[in-house]
A = this chain, B = another copy of it.
Amino acid sequence: MNRRTLLRLVGRAGGAAAVFTNMKALGLLPGAARGVERPQLVAQSGEGVKIAILGAGMAGLTAAYELSKAGYDCTVLEALDRPGGRNWTVRGGDVIGEMESTQTCPFDRNESLYFNVGPARIPYHHVNLLSYCKELGVPLEVIVNDNRAAFFQDDNAFEGKPVLNRRVANDTRGFVAELLAKAMNGNALDAEISPEDRESLLEMVRSFGDLDPDLLTYQGSGRAGYVVPPGAGTVVGTRNEPIDLSELLRSDFWRFKLQFAEGFNQAATMLQPVGGMDQIARGFERQIGDLITYNAAVSQIRKTPAGVQIVYTDKTSGSEQSLEADYAICTFPLSVLSQIDADFSPAYQQAIAAGSQSYVNAMKVAFQARRFWEEDYQIYGGISWTTRDITQIWYPSGGFHSTQGIVVGAYIWSNDIASRWEPMSPEERLMQAIEEGEAIHPGYGNEVSPTTGCSIAWGKVPYSEGGWMGWNSEDLESAYLTLLEPDDRIFLAGEHLSYLTGWQEGSVLSAFEAIEGIASRVQGVG
């Protein structure tokens, strides 16, 4: 039994104590993060076993790569003409086809001018995905997720003006600390705090908020930045005045935006492949590209007495083809799978239908522009947040100081907003993104233009039909569990079959589950 299998079993039994005990028994450090959990397949154990893998996204590529290493005879059917699925990077000249529109990316061709329309970041602890980056020779660099020089903009606070992240972040800390110090000094917390801890706690609170050491009040802090920064000679520096607490509370930053980069999957260090996320898909393709049939649009998934039969259309010739295999791994998003003619059991069909309703129809917009964010605002990577529909502006974390860059002018993951933006023409989306971005960067419209931008609405992308799965809690207790088990010889995989939905690591791990499920069957131990 490998480490992952054990942890999976222990996880089912539940409880941190059980996990700890078992990890100790295995000699695993609780301090260190998880290790790489590749399936350990017996060499040549798959010889003579045919696997049909539906979809060359991250789950399908992982499955083909690992299974073929153990001798399985894999065929990957992919409807598009490229690997990666939602792992997709768009560059100048690339075509973005949606159901109701087609755009050609207008960027100049240049290695730093790319747009990760799908996933754009990798947390440091997504060790399985990272292990493939290493193995496949995909160079990584840091992506800035939290930048104190970026802005928050809220139409309902600060007269709608953009406010520096570092002011909001540090003034908030200051006021929280000041209030706690006041409560402690008023003896309101004496029942909560032992006399031994009291002094240390007050000191901690002071340091935490950078409070005035004598008054224990927040008088502003260099952490929040300067109107005139310290310099040479007599320029001692003039700090920003603290923002009024009531104004901070009127804004929405603190609801989650301010804490965003403390999240388990968002905290430093976050990484990105140099030159675009699709470098990972291309890395897999270099290894197993010969197993992939591109332009193969699956229309039927059939159970046969001996295994499975997959019917697909060769989009190049228009001809219908058939593939027989012993097992299938289907990685299609449920929104796509639910529309395919398939021999699934009624329970399975129902579960697929349920999940197909829960996709997050994420959208992104990007523009090529002068790197005004660096030149005028000293913003090197990271994210500005706004209450407007565009939600975020992302700045590139590489290619610093070059003449042009790609700014992500909208990253939307609200289905409510997407439902209003999806029907817009590509140009209308860009126009609205420009107008809204103006609130964060006055003069934005002079820097970006509809002729230098493009957009993607994942809900409208054929063969994806959604950004990622957003299981509701009810389906997670039923449909999700149903789909974790194979239906006869058909195994499902993809980010939707993980607790890391929307993350490539979830796709990779779900592929491991399918691989191990098949291997158990083949070896007669499952």
Contacts and interface: CB of A to CB of B under 8 A. Distances in A.
Interface of A: 4, 7-8, 10-12, 14-16, 19-20, 23, 30-34, 124-125, 127, 130, 133-134, 139-144, 146-149, 151, 161-164, 166, 169-170, 172-173, 176-177, 179-180, 182-184, 186, 188-189, 192-194, 196-197, 200-201, 203-205, 207-208, 210, 222-223, 225-241, 245-246, 248-250, 254-256, 258-259, 262-264, 267-269, 271, 376-382, 397-398, 400-401, 481, 484, 497-500, 506, 509-510, 512-513
A506 to B, nearest CB: 6
6 cross-chain pairs, A with B, having the tightest CB-CB distances, nearest first: A188-B188, A183-B183, A232-B509, A230-B499, A232-B498, A232-B510
B200 A238 contact: no
8 contacts: A4-B231, A16-B227, A139-B401, A142-B143, A146-B268, A166-B262, A204-B249, A233-B498
B378 A124 contact: yes
A228 B176 contact: no
Contact of A233 (B19, B208, B237, B497): B497
Contact of A269 (B144, B192, B210): B144
B378 A512 contact: no
Given A182-B192, A378-B125, A19 B238 contact: yes
**Most chain B beta-carbon contacts within 10 A, residue among A267, A377, A509:** A267
Contacts of A240: 16
A227 B139 contact: no
A124 B267 CA distance: 20
Given A207-B256, A230-B500, A232-B512, 14 more contacts: A4-B231, A20-B227, A142-B144, A166-B262, A169-B262, A176-B180, A176-B204, A179-B184, A179-B201, A182-B189, A204-B249, A225-B264, A230-B264, A271-B380
B401 A234 contact: no
A4 B231 CA distance: 10
Given A268-B147, A378-B127, A227 B19 contact: yes
Given A8-B234, A400-B139, A189 B179 contact: yes
A506 B233 CA distance: 9
A188 B183 contact: yes
B262 A223 contact: yes
A229 B201 CA distance: 31
Contact of A33 (B149, B204, B207, B234): B149
Contact of A236 (B204, B231, B499): B499
Given A231-B498, A236-B499, A254-B204, A263 B222 contact: yes
Contact of A16 (B241, B258, B380, B510): B241
B207 A255 contact: yes
A377 to B, nearest CB: 6
Contacts of A484: 233-234
A235 B263 CA distance: 18
Nearest to A187: B188
B179 A176 contact: no
B179 A192 contact: yes
B230 A205 contact: no
A402 B264 CA distance: 26
A269 B381 contact: yes
Given A31-B162, A235-B499, A197 B246 contact: yes
A496 to B, nearest CB: 10
A207 B177 CA distance: 15
B377 A33 contact: yes
A8 B233 contact: yes
Given A229-B33, A271-B380, A378-B125, A176 B188 contact: no
B125 A149 contact: yes
Contacts of A164: 31
Contacts of A14: 238
A141 B400 contact: yes
Contact of A232 (B170, B197, B256, B500): B500
